[in-house]
Amino acid sequence: MQNEEVLIKGRKSGFELILNPKAPFESILSSIEEKLSAPIFKNATATISFVGRPLSDVEFLMLKKTVLETTKGNFIFEDPFKSAGNSVFDYLNEGEDVVKFHYGTLRSGMKLTSKGSVVVVGDVNPGAEIVAAGNIIVLGTLRGVAHAGASGKVDAFIFALNLNPTQIRIADVFTRPPDDEKRRKITPEIASIKDGNVVINEVNY
Amino acid sequence: MGEVIVITSGKGGVGKTTTTANIGTGLALRGKNVLLIDTDIGLRNLDFIMGLENRIVYDLVDIVEGNCKPRQAMIKDKKYQNLLLIPAAQTKDKTAVSPEQMKKLVTDLKKEFDYILIDCPAGIEQGFKNAIAGADRAIVVTTPEVSAVRDADRIIGLLEASDIRDTQLIINRVRPDMVKRGDMLSSDDILDILGIKLIGIVPDDEGIISSSNKGEPSVLDSKSKAGEAYRNITARILGEEVPLMDLEDENKILVSLKKLFGRK
């Protein structure tokens, strides 16, 4: 077990992929690609669960993607985050609740990433980027690119005291301000997804 | 012990070399011992702007390679004994010098001058890294154009990341008539994004082109508006409080007369 990145065990309704907690994530992915290219998995229909290693939102998405691309199968993935009392659950909660703070202006060319949420106490200038698995809050003017829910969370939001970005991204929806837009009044606004589109609402206190 | 100031911008052609020449000359006019260093290896201009290109024997790369001592590469200004220039090499490129070599050189020379001004090349690569190594502080030059301001923002971020703080800003080539019409960014627009202290505004001035061609910085010309702006910037560097020039004073009388007669 120590040397194998991934071990596959059969279960009643599918497979359990036992992931080595010590191996680097890239090697886990390549091992899955290798092992799951066996004919038995091609176009299979089964349940797959990943065990043995705490996983983040993003990692879980990547594992699912790798399995599906390699096998073209019809798999149902057991959500590792639903099992109560599992250490995986605790790890993810840690990631989700983590809030990264940045004090001061985020300048052009700077990039902030977080597995949780991001709060910028300052402005975000054009050419700067924020990528968060969670929410993004800018206590200033947002002029750069903000990507919230980057791991697929459609209910993530982006808030700014002055929302004037070059681009807004939430989960996999990208949008930009209208080309002919004259600068609206400066007021706190929040961007979120409704019916698959990004909507901007004023925030009234 | 002198102060090392790097003059940088990110964007090319906004006036770094002109600013270095004028501030350097301005400081020398006020009696300070000033050394200018051109780090734009391969595309050198500072020597020409200062009118000293015919006097180059050794350059920055010669010093760093050990072909000469620093003093041998220093060229005295035509008019002021207390103003010296180390030119860049033209036949090499920016990989000929490393940040460590620059830092050592500049730290050694600091003891002999009141101010060392470093003319930084455009860009953010090796040339920039060489120029900021050993700098105590920075002056960022921008023009009132969005592309220049974007690049200036990037540069300020890189300066902050290299622990160079309290950077000051010069807004160059301002055309007050365009600002009034709303066709040009105002200083407030620019400061809103860049958020650093403004040390001066230099108006767009045709005279800069002729003074560059003659090799006589505008700061020496009492009739030049740009020159006056640079003299004010020099004073501010020396710690004096000088109010910002009113760039519209030629038109002021006309405007008051118009108001008097009820026309806009």
Structural domain boundaries of chain B?
3-260
Give the pLDDT mean for B148-156: 96
CA B169 remoteness from chain centre: 10
Q: What is the pLDDT of residue B250?
A: 47
Q: Are A127 and A146 in contact (CB under 8 A)?
A: no
Provide the 8-state DSSP code for A124: B
Which residue type, as a one-letter code, is found at position B134?
Answer: G
> What residues contact A114, with CB distance under 8 A and at least 6 apart?
A98, A99, A100, A131, A132, A133, A134
Are B134 and B164 contacting, i.e. CB atoms less than 8 angstroms apart?
A: no
Give pLDDT < 50 ranges for chain A.
Answer: 1, 83-94
- Chain A to chain B, count of Cβ pairs less than 8 Å apart? 26
Residues B64 and B101: their CA atoms lie apart, in Å, by 7
Q: Which two tokens stand for residue B21?
A: 């020449």
* B206, B207, B211, B212: CA torsion to nearest 10: -20
Give the number of residues written for chain B.
264
Tell me which chain B residue has its CA closest to the CA of residue A141: B193
Q: Which fold has domain A6-93?
A: Transcription Regulator spoIIAA (3.30.750)
Best B158, B193, B194, B196 residue to mutate vs chain A (most A CBs within 10 Å): B193
Asked: is B3-260 a CATH 3.40.109.10 domain? The reply is no
Distance CA A85, CA A76 (A): 22
A164 and A183 Cβ atoms separated by less than 8 Å:
yes
Question: Does position B173 have pLDDT exceeding 70, yes or no?
Answer: yes
Q: Which residues of chain B does A143 touch, with a Cβ-Cβ cutoff of 8 Å?
A: 193
Query: What is the C-alpha separation between B113 and B37, in angstroms, rounded?
Result: 12
Supply the mean pLDDT for chain B.
92
Q: Which residues from B are below 8 Å from A165, CB to CB?
A: none
Look at residue A184 in the predicted model and tell me its pLDDT. Answer: 66
Percentage of chain B modeled with pLDDT above 70: 94
Long-range contacts for B209-212 (Cβ within 8 Å, ≥24 apart)? B212/B18, B212/B48, B212/B49
Percent of chain B that is helix, strand, coil (3-state, to 5): 45, 15, 40
> At residue B77, does pLDDT exceed 50?
yes
Is the minimum CB–CB distance between B154 and chain A shorter than 8 Å? yes
Of B153, B158, B160, the CB nearest to A125: B153
Beta bridge partners of A50: A17
State how far the Cα of B222 lies from the Cα of B229, in Å rounded to an integer.
11
Across residues B36-57, what is the average pLDDT? 94
Between A94-108, A135-149, B174-188, B250-264, the lowest mean confidence (pLDDT) is in: B250-264
Candidate from A109, A123, A126 with C-beta closest to B157:
A109
Q: What is the mean pLDDT of residues B71-83?
A: 96
Residue B203 predicted with pLDDT over 70: yes
Q: Is B236 exposed, middle or buried (0-12, 13-18, 19+ CB in 10 A)?
A: middle
Is B193 within 8 Å of chain A by CB? yes
CB-based contact (8 Å) between B125 and chain A?
A: no
The pLDDT of residue A92 is 42
Q: Which residues of B touch A129 (CB under 8 A)?
A: none
Interface contact A127-B195, CB threshold 8 A = no
Look at B153 and A143 and tell me if their CB atoms are within 8 Å. Answer: no
Give me the residue from B158, B160, B193 closest to A125, CB to CB.
B193
Strand-pair category, A167-170 with A173-175: antiparallel
Query: B106, B134 in Cβ contact below 8 A?
Result: yes
Smallest CA–CA distance, residue B158 to chain A, in Å, is 9
Q: Return the pLDDT at A149.
A: 92
Residue B28 has pLDDT above 50, yes or no: yes
Q: What pLDDT shows up at residue A88?
A: 37
Longest CA pairwise span in chain A (Å): 62
B153: confidence class by pLDDT, cuts 50, 70, 90 = very high
Q: Do B153 and A110 touch (CB under 8 A)?
A: no
A98-202 architecture in CATH?
3 Solenoid (2.160)
The arrangement of strands across the sheet holding A129-132 comes to A111-114, A129-132, A145-148, A167-170, A173-175
